[in-house]
């Protein structure tokens, strides 16, 4: 069950201010995704030559999502996995709650015993959705 470190996500209040800070540290923007529907932007930044170990800045255009801001700065740790269904089954068999099931064959969220959000992303293309994962509801805010 090989894991590949992908990124650490932090939420930011002021995108330009935060990006300027990380640029001072020498990080460069490597990828950006703007969601009109979700009203958020994801900006990946990494040191030159370490593009495979970025941070993911999440900027919600309308500010915090109503939760206490001190609980939303830190977002998640993300890992790539070879088979998201097998990994989630292994975790679930060992008592871990799958907060966001991998019903799309691509993305799942679990939480550590310290409530740290962990994002699991399928390496390569998404797997074909399969039961029972395809019909599982998310549990809580992942």
- The site for Ni ion (CB under 5 A) is made up of 9, 56, 78, 119
Which of Ni ion, ligand LWWXVOTR, none has residue 98 at its interface (CB below 5 to 8 Å by kind)? none
- 119 labelled catalytic: yes
The DSSP secondary-structure symbol of 74 reads E
Site residues, ligand LWWXVOTR (CB under 6 A): 9, 11, 38, 40, 42, 56, 58, 60, 65, 75-76, 78, 117, 119, 142
Which one, 82 or 93, has the nearer CB to ligand LWWXVOTR? 82
Query: CB of 7: closest distance to Ni ion in angstroms?
Result: 6
Which tokens in the block code for residue 5? 């470190």
Query: What is the token pair recorded at 137?
Result: 């509801």
Angle at 43 between CA 1 and CA 88, to 5 degrees: 20
Token output for 1: 């069950």
Single out the catalytic residue among 36, 86, 119, 137: 119
Q: Which is nearer to ligand LWWXVOTR, 24 or 37 (CB)?
A: 37
What is the SS3 assignment for 44-64? EEECCCCCCCCEEEEEECCCC
The span from the CA of 27 to the CA of 107, in Å, is 26
Q: Which is nearer to ligand LWWXVOTR, 22 or 142 (CB)?
A: 142
Q: Report in angstroms how near the CB of residue 9 gets to Ni ion at its nearest.
A: 4
* 24: Cβ contacts below 8 Å, ≥ 6 apart: none
Can you tell me the distance from the alpha carbon of 19 to that of 35, in angstroms, rounded to the nearest whole number?
Answer: 18
Binding site partner of 84, from Ni ion, ligand LWWXVOTR, none, Cβ cut-off 5-8 A by kind: none
Q: Which of 80, 85, 78 is nearest to 129 (CA)?
A: 85
Q: Binding partner of residue 15 among ligand LWWXVOTR, Ni ion, none, CB under 5 to 8 Å per kind?
A: none
- Catalytic amino acids? 119
């Amino acid at each position: 069950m090989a894991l590949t470190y992908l990124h650490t996500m932090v939420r930011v209040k002021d995108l330009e201010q935060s990006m300027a800070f990380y640029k001072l540290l020498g990080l460069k923007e490597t990828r950006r995704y703007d969601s009109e529907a979700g009203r958020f932007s994801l900006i990946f930044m990494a040191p030159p030559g370490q593009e495979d170990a970025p941070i993911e800045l999440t900027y919600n255009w309308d500010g915090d999502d109503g939760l206490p801001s001190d609980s939303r700065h830190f977002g998640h740790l993300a890992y790539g996995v070879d088979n998201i269904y097998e990994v989630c089954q292994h975790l679930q068999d060992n008592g871990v709650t799958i907060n966001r099931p991998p019903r799309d064959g691509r993305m799942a969220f679990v939480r550590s015993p310290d409530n740290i959000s962990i994002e699991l992303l399928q390496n390569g293309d998404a797997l074909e959705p399969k039961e029972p994962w395809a019909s599982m509801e998310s549990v809580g805010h992942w």
